[in-house]
A and B are shown apart, each in its own frame.
Chain A
C-alpha cells in the first residue's frame, strides 16, 4: 500500500522478534553482560509461551550456562529427569524394541529433562523482565525497516483494526516502528520475516534450501498409576510407509499427564497423505491403545520444525541483524531437539553484540557457530536426514545410525557431507502416480477430527481482519493443485484451514478458514507451487497453548 502512515517510533539497542527460547536467551544474556543495553522483544502470541510447542525433552546444557542456578530455583521449569529411554520399530500389530545398547551415543537422553516448552518460555520471560527487558506480547513484527544503505534498522509492528477489505475500522490502530542497531530474528521454524531476510540478502546462496517436518502433539490425562514420570519412548515405522520419514514421541510427565506426538517429514511424496490422520492412526496401534485407554485428551497443537541440519544453516548475519534459533535451523533431527541450540544461539549472538556493539554485521556470530557447541551438535548427525530421505526405512535409518557410530568411534563420516536432494515443496508426485491413502473415521474417544482438535488449542483471531494466508495466484488451488494433486492443503494443514467446497451450482471453491490457523507454517513450506505465503495476523491471534 502506498498510503503514507504516520507511525510512532521508539529506538532501542536491540530488537528481538519472537519470545521463544532463542529470543529470550539472547535478551537475558545481553542484560546479564551489559545492564545498560536496551532490549525490546515482540511476540505475536497473546503472551510468552502461548505459541510455544515442542516435544519436549530438553538437553539442559545451554540452560545451565544461561541460568546457572536454575536447578535450585523453587520455580524451576524442568523437574523430571529422563530415567527410561525406549525405542521401537512398529508394524501394524507389533512394537519391536531396539536394545538401548544399539543406540548411537549421539542419541542419548541421559541427563535430559521432560517438560514443556511453554513452561520454560514463561520462566525465561520472567527472568528477562526482571533484568529489565521489555517484552511486548500480542504484537507481531510484520516488516523489516531498511536505511538508505540497505542495512536493516528495525521492524514495524502490525496494524490493528483493519477490516477484511483493507479499510480501517473504528478501532484502527497503526503499527509502530521499533528502530534498533541490531535486529535479531528469533521467529522459530519458517519465520515470516526470516524468510524475507533470507531471500533479500541471499543468505542461503551457499547452504541451499531448508528441510522441514510437521510435528503434531496431544496431551492426555491418564488414569492414576499409568504414567511413569521420567519414561520416554520413540517409534519409527507404522503407520508411515517406508518412503515417508517421521515417527512418534511419547513422554511421561507429571500429574498423570502424557505427551503423545508425531512428526512427519515434509518431503513426503504422496499428496493424499495427511500428517494429522497419520498421527490419529498411530494412536490406534495396540500398544498405544492400551496406554491411552480410559484417558482424556486435554490439549492439541502443531508446529513445523527444521530438519536441514548442518548443511542447511544459512549465512547467519546481514547488515543490521542476525538469525538465531530455529529461524536459522539449529534443530538436531535424530535427537529431535532444538531448544538447547536455540538457547545457545541466543547467548552467542548476545556475546557478539556485547563484544562489538557498533558492528554493522555480527561476524563473530556468523563465523563462530560452526566451532561452537551448536556446530559440534549438528555436524556429527549431518547425514542422518539425507540418508533417510534417499533410502527410506529401514536402509536409510540404519545407514544414518551407522554414520553416527562412525562419528562416535572414529570421529568422521564415510559419507562426507551429503546434500539434500530437493526442497520439500518439490517432492509431491501427481495423484495419478500414487496409491491414494484412506484413513479410518475418528471415534471421538481415541481419535479425533481436525475441528474438535483445533478447539482444544484455544485458537482465535480478531474477526473481520484480512486473510493472513496470501495466495500469490488465487487461481492455482483450483486450476492446478486440485486436478494434479487433489489440493494437498486440505490434508497437510493440521487445523482444517483449507477446504474445497461445492457451490450450489456444482462448481468447486477454495475456502480458507484463516481463523483456525495454529501458525504451524506447513502451508508456507509444502504448497507445491509455493503459492501460499503465511503472514502474521493481528497480534494476539493464533493458538493459546498452555504448557505445550
Chain B
C-alpha cells in the first residue's frame, strides 16, 4: 500500500484534572497541558509499524484544530510519520465537520487506509471514523484490537461482548483503534530532533470550502456531583431493604 492517513486530535492531557469554567460554558483549558489523544497515538503507532514492516510506503498525519495542535503533529512525526498537515481552526468543531475535512484530504492524498482513534477522550463522541466511512462509502472496522494487512485486504480483530470478532475488509478502508491494539513507543530525542525538520503543512479551514458550522448547541457543562460518603450494611437483607426504601429496586 502506498499511503496511510492518520487523523489525530489534540485533547486535554489525560493526567490533568478538567476544570469547568465558572460560567458553566465549557472546560477551562487555559494553562492546561494538551496532548495527543491516546487512541490517536495508538493509531499513529499502528501505521508506523505497518510502514516498518514494509506494508506501507508513507504515513501522513493530519489534525484539525488550533495552531498549538502542531505539537501533537510533531509528536506523530517523531514517532515515525513522514509528513503532517494541519487544518487550522480556532472555533468549535464537531465530528461531522471533521469527517468532511478528512474526506477532502483523502481526495487529495489518496491513501488506501485511514486509521483513527475510536474516540477522543475530551468529548467521547465516538463518531468521526464511522461518519468518514459513510462519507467515503468505504468499509469500516471500529475498535480494532489487532490488525493485519494481506495484499489488498485488511483483517481487523475487535473486542465484542463475549469474545473476539475478526472482519476482513477490502482496501481502501477505515479502521478505528481500541486500547489494546498496541503500546505506543517513546519518542527518542534524536527522532524528536529529526521530526522538527519534517514537512508540516498548514491550511486555514476557510480555504477548504467545507461547512463547519456546529449542529449542536451546548446548554451547559457541570462537574460531576461529589460522591457522597458510603455506608456499610450489616447483611444482604439490610441492603435489599435499603434499596427498596430508596426505590432503587
Contacts and interface: CB of A to CB of B under 8 A. Distances in A.
Do they bind each other?
A: yes
Interface residues of B, number: 20
A103 B183 CA distance: 59
Contacts, number: 61
A544 B13 contact: yes
Contact of A175 (B16, B185, B189): B189
Interface string A135-178: 01001000000000000000001001100000000110111100
> Most B CB atoms within 10 A — which of A46, A171, A221, A544?
A544
Interface string B181-196: 0010111111011001
Contacts of B19: 298
Given A118-B31, A176-B188, A176-B190, A456 B183 contact: no
Contact of A171 (B16, B31, B183): B183
Contacts of A46: 13, 33
B15 A460 contact: yes
Contacts of B240: none
A458 B12 CA distance: 12
Contacts of B30: 546-547
Nearest to A45: B33
B32 A136 contact: no
Contacts of B186: 160-161, 171, 173
A332 interface: no
B13 A256 contact: no
Contacts of A176: 188-190
B44 to A, nearest CB: 14
A81 interface: no
A8 B192 CA distance: 13
A458 B15 contact: yes
A50 interface: yes
Interface in A469-489: none
A46 B188 CA distance: 14
Interface in B192-235: 192-193, 196
Given A458-B15, A544-B13, A546-B16, A8 B190 contact: yes
B17 A455 contact: yes
A274 interface: no
A47 interface: yes
Nearest to B187: A173
Given A47-B33, A176-B190, A456-B17, 15 more contacts: A8-B189, A46-B33, A118-B31, A157-B189, A161-B186, A170-B183, A173-B188, A176-B188, A176-B189, A458-B15, A458-B16, A544-B33, A546-B16, A546-B32, A547-B30
| List of 10 A-B pairs having minimum Cβ-Cβ separation, nearest first | A547-B31, A546-B31, A160-B186, A173-B188, A176-B189, A8-B190, A173-B186, A460-B15, A544-B33, A546-B32
Interface of A: 8, 10, 46-47, 49-50, 116, 118-119, 122, 134, 136, 139, 157, 160-161, 170-171, 173-176, 221, 255-256, 298, 455-456, 458-460, 544, 546-547
22 contacts: A46-B13, A134-B193, A136-B189, A136-B193, A160-B186, A160-B188, A161-B186, A171-B186, A173-B185, A173-B188, A174-B188, A176-B190, A298-B19, A455-B17, A458-B17, A458-B33, A544-B16, A546-B16, A546-B31, A546-B32, A547-B30, A547-B31
